[in-house]
Amino acid sequence: MSLPTVFYLSTSSMSTLSEGIVGKRKRGGTKKTKSIPKGDILIDSAKNEWIILNSIARGGFGEIYTASKSTSAKQDNFIIKIEPTENGPLFCEKTVYIRIGKKEDIKEYMKSKGLKSLGMPQFYGSGNHIADGKKYRFLVMERYGRDLWSIFLENNRIFPVSTVFKIANQVLDVLEYIHSKGYVHADIKGANLLLGKMKGYENQVYLVDFGLAARYTNVYKPDPRRAHNGTLEYTSRDGHEGIVTRRGDIEVLGYNILQWISSNLPWEHMRDLNEIHGKKVKYMKNYNQLLQICFNNKTPPGALEKYFNVLSKMEPLQEPKYKLLKQYLSDGIAQTGDTSNKLNFSPKKCRTIDKSPPSSVPAKLRKMNNEKIICPTHKRPPTTNRKRMISSKQPRKRKTLKEVGRIVLLLLVVPNY
- pLDDT tens digits along 342-361: 999 985 544 434 333 343 33
- pLDDT tens digits along 286-339: 999 999 999 999 999 999 999 999 999 999 999 999 999 999 999 999 999 999
**Exposed e or buried b for every residue in 368-393, given b needs 16+ CB within 10 A?**
eeeeeeeebebebbbbbbbeeeeeee
pTM: 0.79
Residue of 44, 147, 187, 238 with catalytic role: 187
- For the chain, residues classed under CATH 1.10.510.10 are 148-385
Residues 255, 308: Cα–Cα separation, whole Å: 10
Q: Strands 123-131 and 352-354: what pairing?
A: unpaired
Give the fold, CATH level 3, of 148-385. Transferase(Phosphotransferase); domain 1 (1.10.510)
Residue 165 host element (H or E): helix 161-180
The percentage of the chain sitting over the pLDDT mark of 70, rounded to a whole number, equals: 75
Which one, of 378, 390, 302, lies nearest residue 24 by Cα? 390
- pLDDT tens digits along 395-411: 344 445 555 455 545 55
- pLDDT tens digits along 194-243: 999 999 999 999 999 998 999 999 999 999 999 999 999 999 999 999 99
Q: Are 386 and 25 in contact (CB under 8 A)?
A: yes
Interval 144-162 mean pLDDT: 96
Question: What is the chain's mean pLDDT, rounded?
Answer: 82
3-state SS, 325-394, equals HHHHHHHHHHHHCCCCCCCCCCCCCCCEEECCCCCCCCHHHHCCCCCEEECCCCCCCCCEECCCCCCCCC
- Respond yes or no: is residue 173 known to be catalytic: no
Residues 234, 225: Cα–Cα separation, whole Å: 19
- pLDDT tens digits along 271-285: 999 999 999 999 999
**Exposed e or buried b for every residue in 291-303, given b needs 16+ CB within 10 A?**
beebbeeeebbeb
What is the pLDDT confidence band of residue 31, given thresholds at 50, 70 and 90?
low
Which one, of 7, 319, 5, lies nearest residue 176 by Cα? 319
Selecting from 3.40.980.10, 3.90.1150.10, 1.10.10.10, 3.30.200.20, what CATH number does the domain 14-142 have?
3.30.200.20
Interval 89-98 mean pLDDT: 91
Interval 243-255 mean pLDDT: 98
- For the chain, residues classed under CATH 3.30.200.20 are 14-142
Residues 169, 394: Cα–Cα separation, whole Å: 41
The percentage of the chain sitting over the pLDDT mark of 90, rounded to a whole number, equals: 67
pLDDT value, residue 7: 36
